[in-house]
Structures are given as structure tokens and as C-alpha cells.
Structure 1
């Protein structure tokens, strides 16, 4: 599912997904989206956070 920055707050009010991928051409919007997702996850009771940085040789099998 794709959630636009404009719709993210409403989406997070309904609950959080198990995984989010944030991308885009505007760094500030990406940072704000990440902040909103983390705040929504905290409200939902999530206490762990895992950050994956995709680089050359990234093992995609680890996500499955």
C-alpha cells in the first residue's frame, strides 16, 4: 500500500503497519514522515525499532 505524505496522519490514526519504506525527492518530507511514523508506533505501544540501510550486497532474504 502506498501512503502519500498528505494522508500519513490519517493512516497512522487507524493503526500502524508492520513495515514502512520512506522515500522521495524531498528530504524534509522524508524526515517528517519518519518522525510521524515513529510517533504513531509509540502511541500503538511499539518499543523496538530496527533500521536497515540498503547498500551494495544487501541481503534481502533477511526481510522474509
Structure 2
């Protein structure tokens, strides 16, 4: 491995660089791994007045 690239030798003997995808930044092993990190306000489902008026909701 050189410079973050994997070098694969093909059948013809030509080196072919192969770019690997970046590793995941966060490992979320199971359910509830984001518990306590996300806050949803109590009025989340209420649209702002200007948007509600534009769509005729109010």
C-alpha cells in the first residue's frame, strides 16, 4: 500500500492503482448509538407561520 492506494498487479504485469473508499468516520454498532446526541424541539411538527400561509395550512 502506497499513499493510501492499493496497487494490484494485473496478468499483463502492469501495475494498476486501485483507489479504496475512505473508512467510515463513525462506527454505529447497534440501536441507540445516537441516543442523547440528537435533540428534537417540542414544536418540530409545527411549520413556521410564513410557510404555513404559503401552503394554505392556516
> Which TM-score bucket, shorter chain as reference?
under 0.3
Q: Which has the larger radius of gyration?
A: 2
Q: Which has the higher contact order (CA 8 A, sep 6+)?
A: 1
* Structure number having the greater strand percentage: 2
